């Protein structure tokens, strides 16, 4: 007698509750592979945890307590950069898993396809960055890390549109803006291996933002809502940070995120910052 297949929700939950980084990488990629091969049941029979399991290290700190990275180009500065990037990608694994597991039943199979593939990408990114750290004589967890990266997920856990608006369409889109300049700084230091890693991450993140934007727009259009206006409302309500230029308009456009979405929000943010300064 054939044993029943595991549900997709159970597999995702188990990956989210895996704390050790290498094990989480394996679990995320395994969930994505088994889903792609039809080896997981379309069943959302287990709730997603309020937050994922994480290792004891790195120490998570609020942004205002994060130590300075050190001079750009110095050994300390390089290690701090790669550690910060590794932490972003580590948390991104859980953001993508939670997206698929929390909202998949509501959004359908294509949504789960997309965000489990994102989780596998983020796991691969983290593995590349962790390997980079080890070549520099360091490892993930050796330095403190930003403790607020899960906050956006927690605050949008009851609303898929809010989650899409903030995570792929703000946080990941910000990566499209800043990664090219980081890549060029790394290349100027003679680190072509690091530049290749950053290019790979940039290429994948364009696709991730495209997934988020596509599902956001489809949901808005299904209800007759205006996508850019809905996005602006949700960002004002749920995103605590600031949308600051410069924007990588070409990468954002490739991801389906036109200036109709973010131009006026950025202008309002700049005006507010100027007023408060």
The model's pLDDT over 54-97, given as tens digits with 9 standing for 90+, comes to 999 999 998 777 777 666 668 889 999 999 999 999 999 999 99
Q: Are residues 206 and 141 in the same domain?
A: no
Helix axes 109-135, 21-36, angle to 10 degrees: 150
Identify the H or E element spanning 146: strand 145-146
**pLDDT number for residue 244:** 83
> How many structural domains are present in the chain?
2
In a 13 Å sphere around the CA of 29, the CA atoms on its Cβ side amount to 14
- Residue range(s) defining the domain that contains residue 277: 150-277
Residue 225 lies in a domain: yes
Residue 58 lies in a domain: no
Last residue of a domain, one of 147, 181, 200: 147
Residue 60 lies in a domain: no
Return the ∠ at Cα 252 (arms to 159 and 172), rounded to 5°: 45
**pLDDT number for residue 218:** 98
**Stretch 178-205: mean pLDDT, rounded?**
97
Last residue of a domain, one of 147, 166, 201: 147
What distances in angstroms separate CA 43 from CA 12, 70, 80, 87, 248, one per listed residue? Answer: 11, 48, 41, 31, 39
- Global pTM value: 0.93
**pLDDT number for residue 66:** 78
* Structure confidence by residue, pLDDT tens digits, 13-64: 999 999 999 999 999 999 999 999 999 999 999 999 999 999 999 999 987 7
* Structure confidence by residue, pLDDT tens digits, 213-263: 999 999 999 999 999 999 999 999 999 888 888 899 999 999 999 999 988
User: What is the secondary structure of 151-200 as a DSSP string?
Assistant: HHHHHTTT-HHHHHHHIIIIIIHHHHHHHHHHHHHHHHTT-HHHHHHHHH
Residue 27 lies in a domain: yes
């Amino acid at each position: 007698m054939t044993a029943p297949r595991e549900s997709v929700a159970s597999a995702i939950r188990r990956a989210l509750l895996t704390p050790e980084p290498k094990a989480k990488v394996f679990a995320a990629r395994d969930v994505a592979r088994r889903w792609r091969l039809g080896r997981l049941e379309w069943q959302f029979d287990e709730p997603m945890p309020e937050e994922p399991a994480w290792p004891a290290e790195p120490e998570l700190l609020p942004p205002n307590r994060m130590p300075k990275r050190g001079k750009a180009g110095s050994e300390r500065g390089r290690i701090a950069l790669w550690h910060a990037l590794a932490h972003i990608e580590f948390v991104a694994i859980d953001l993508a898993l939670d997206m698929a597991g929390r909202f998949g039943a509501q959004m359908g199979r294509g949504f789960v396809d997309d965000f489990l593939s994102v989780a596998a990408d983020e796991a691969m990114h983290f593995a590349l960055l962790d390997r980079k750290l080890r070549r520099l004589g360091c490892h993930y967890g050796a330095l403190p890390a930003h403790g607020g990266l899960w906050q956006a997920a927690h605050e949008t856990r009851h609303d898929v549109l809010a989650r899409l608006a903030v995570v792929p369409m703000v946080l990941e889109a910000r990566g499209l803006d800043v990664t090219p300049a980081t890549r060029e700084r790394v290349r100027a230091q003679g680190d072509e291996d690091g530049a290749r890693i950053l290019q790979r991450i940039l290429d994948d993140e364009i696709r991730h933002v495209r997934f988020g934007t596509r599902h956001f727009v489809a949901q808005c259009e299904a209800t007759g809502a205006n996508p850019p206006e809905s996005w602006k409302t949700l960002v004002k309500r749920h995103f605590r940070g600031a949308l600051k230029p410069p924007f990588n308009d070409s990468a954002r456009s490739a991801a389906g995120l036109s200036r109709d979405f973010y131009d006026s929000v950025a202008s309002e943010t700049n005006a507010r910052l100027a007023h408060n300064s």
